[in-house]
Amino acid sequence: MTSQTPENGHPYPEQPEGLLEILQRLDRNLEVLTDLTGRLAEEQTATRIEVQGLHESAEQRYAALDQRIAAVQATTEQQAQVAAQQAESINRLITLLEPRRGRN
């Protein structure tokens, strides 16, 4: 047998044992939900730690790439300067040798 409560209209068992069973089931459900919530929080924390590690790793890789790029740019600039100096030296030699060509 059930009776209606005027507040919400849901049927409740008239016997206290039925209420006790309902409360015990709710308590078990609450324990399960609490456990699942704890597990999810642990997984979320682990995921955050993993993502932070990946982020730091990516930052380190970008820093290393920036250093490589800077080194390559410096080397390229040095090689360009050397090439310009060599071209200048060759032009001077050509300038010096051109009058001699006319003599031969």
Q: In the chain, what are the domain boundaries?
A: 13-103
Residue 2 has pLDDT above 90, yes or no: no
Q: How confident is the model at residue 35, as a pLDDT?
A: 97
Record the pTM.
0.52
* Ranges assigned E (strand) in 1-104: 2-4, 11-13
CA distance 36 to 41: 8
Q: How confident is the model at residue 15, as a pLDDT?
A: 64
Q: How confident is the model at residue 1, as a pLDDT?
A: 46
Average per-residue pLDDT for the chain: 88
- Report the 10 Å Cβ neighbour count for 13: 14
Reported as a single tens digit per residue, the pLDDT across 18-45 is: 888 999 999 999 999 999 999 999 999 9
Specify burial of residue 103 (Cβ count, 10 A radius: 0-12, 13-18, 19+).
Answer: exposed
